[in-house]
Amino acid sequence: MIIGILKEEGSENRVALLPESVSTLVKMMITVYVEKDAGLRAFASDAAYIEAGATIAAKADVISESEMLIRINPPSETEIAQMKEKTVLLAVLNPFFNVALVKSLAQKNITSFSLDVIPRTSRAQSMDILSSMATVAGYKAVLTAANMLPKFFPMFMTAAGTITPAKVLILGAGVAGLQALATSRKLGAVVEVFDVRAAVKEEVVGLGGKFVEVEGAIDDKAAGGYAVEQTDDFKKKQAAAVHDHAVKSDVVICTAQIPGKKAPLLLTKVTVEAMKPGSVIIDLAASTGGNCEVTQNDASIIHHEVKIIGNSSFPVDMPSDASKMFGKNTINFLKLMISAKGEFNLNWQDDIVKGTCVTHDHEIVHERVKSIITV
């Protein structure tokens, strides 16, 4: 089969597959076309792709020659128009929010797979691009905070006296939150962590953090390990607890999300105004509304001498390893659909393949996406 890798546009620095992932595909008997300059911003030259066994081509040729196209961000309407019917597409489609895109893909008879909806089962862990990107985001969030903070992260005993360590508060202990905890601890900060899922307490303590408990959280086992919307009474108790801890912190890293919903509001304007001058808030949930009331998505602002960074796209700033992880995850997913002879083999019996497919044969086939969209 022929697979094409498209170049990303705009502020995106990553590429879906680096040359090392391309050489894995070539060993799987796959022919690979790469759009000219696709990897440049992730420091992968066209020459490196050629060495890995790919052919470099113009966008239009990559689209017309390939049976499968892989990219990170959704294709444009122009690209969809250029695709042949029945092309297989792998990308992060964000299908619950990109309704028009999903409809276009169904109309054009594209078999699309959205890598952000891969079921979160243990067998799919090696394919989970959300975990990989959350790892990058949690790490970069802490480095950004440390860079902006007007004081040290670690404790220092110096001839000029003792420097106390920075206090970091992390809201949400999912993949990004746990990575932020581990990175903050490596830099020597004292770290506290909030989450509504009691199951993460052990992991938080194991990584050297203090788990702050608020009683009365709804921890729904049926939500598959995810958080669910909380009661108003709990939200009030939680806001009070977050306030008490935030005003003593130097850094707050916000990572709390509820899949398919607006992010929970955990850090009010009143709390921000009571924080120490010079404190830093990094809001990784900015694109889904933010955990902090003052956050502006894709903007860095100062409110009452507190810096608030609304950034949900830190992986763009670490394109080498972010692309490497994205490519490895994607290849692990692809292995479910490629035969020993390098041919495409759509196995509907596989729950991961079925659970990731959004459109096929002119239809929206993903049950949850279909329930919110009618073609």
Catalytic residue among 61, 64, 120, 296: 120
Q: How far is the CB of 325 from ligand NAD (least distance, A)?
A: 13
By the 10 Å C-beta count (0-12 exposed, 13-18 middle, 19+ buried), 122 is classed as exposed
Q: Of 30-38, 53-61, 257-265, 353-361, which segment contacts ligand NAD by CB under 6 A?
A: 257-265
Helix (H), strand (E) at residue 281: strand 280-283
125 is catalytic: yes
CA distance 4 to 99: 25
Q: Does 264 bind ligand NAD (CB under 6 A)?
A: yes
Q: Does 359 bind ligand NAD (CB under 6 A)?
A: no
Q: Residue 85 in 3-state DSSP?
A: coil
Beta pairing partners, 56: 34
Tell me phi and psi for residue 32, to 5 degrees: -120, 130
The CA distances from residue 248 to 43, 162, 220, 237, in Å, are 41, 19, 31, 18
First-last CA distance in the chain: 30
Residue from 24, 255, 271, 356 binding ligand NAD (CB under 6 A) = 255
Q: How far is the CB of 358 from ligand NAD (least distance, A)?
A: 19
Tell me phi and psi for residue 363, to 5 degrees: -115, 155
Find the radius of gyration of the CA atoms of the chain. Answer: 22
Q: Does 174 bind ligand NAD (CB under 6 A)?
A: yes
Q: How far is the CB of 284 from ligand NAD (least distance, A)?
A: 8
Strands 251-254, 167-171: pairing is: parallel
Q: Return the half-sphere exposure (C-beta side, CA atoms, 13 A cut-off) of residue 61.
A: 9
As given in the structure block, the two tokens for residue 68 are 């499968």
With CB atoms as reference, the residue minimizing the distance to ligand NAD is 174
CA distance 363 to 342: 26
Give the dihedral sign, CA 187/192/197/199: positive
Instruction: Give residues 117-136 in contact with ligand NAD (rule: CB under 6 A).
Output: 120-122, 124-125, 128, 130-131, 134
131 is catalytic: yes
Catalytic residue among 41, 61, 220, 226: 226
Q: Does 258 bind ligand NAD (CB under 6 A)?
A: yes
Q: How far is the CB of 91 from ligand NAD (least distance, A)?
A: 19
Residue from 172, 290, 319, 327 binding ligand NAD (CB under 6 A) = 172
64 is catalytic: no
Q: Does 259 bind ligand NAD (CB under 6 A)?
A: yes
Q: Does 289 bind ligand NAD (CB under 6 A)?
A: no
Using CB under 6 A as the binding criterion, the count of chain residues that bind ligand NAD stands at: 32
120 is catalytic: yes
- Binding letters toward ligand NAD, positions 58-77, x by CB under 6 A: --------------------
Q: Does 195 bind ligand NAD (CB under 6 A)?
A: yes
CA distance 43 to 363: 38
Strands 68-70, 88-91: pairing is: parallel
By the 10 Å C-beta count (0-12 exposed, 13-18 middle, 19+ buried), 157 is classed as exposed
Q: Does 96 bind ligand NAD (CB under 6 A)?
A: no
The CA distances from residue 345 to 51, 266, 340, in Å, are 28, 46, 10
In the bound state with ligand NAD, the residue whose beta carbon lies nearer, of 165 and 172, is 172
Q: Of 146-154, 226-234, 295-303, 331-339, which segment contacts ligand NAD by CB under 6 A?
A: 226-234
Catalytic residue among 21, 66, 104, 131: 131
Residue from 113, 194, 326, 333 binding ligand NAD (CB under 6 A) = 194
Q: Of 2-10, 22-30, 144-152, 224-232, which segment contacts ligand NAD by CB under 6 A?
A: 224-232
List active site positions. Answer: 120, 125, 128, 131, 226
Q: Which residues form the interface with ligand NAD (CB under 6 A)? A: 120-122, 124-125, 128, 130-131, 134, 171-177, 194-197, 200, 225-227, 230, 255-259, 264, 266
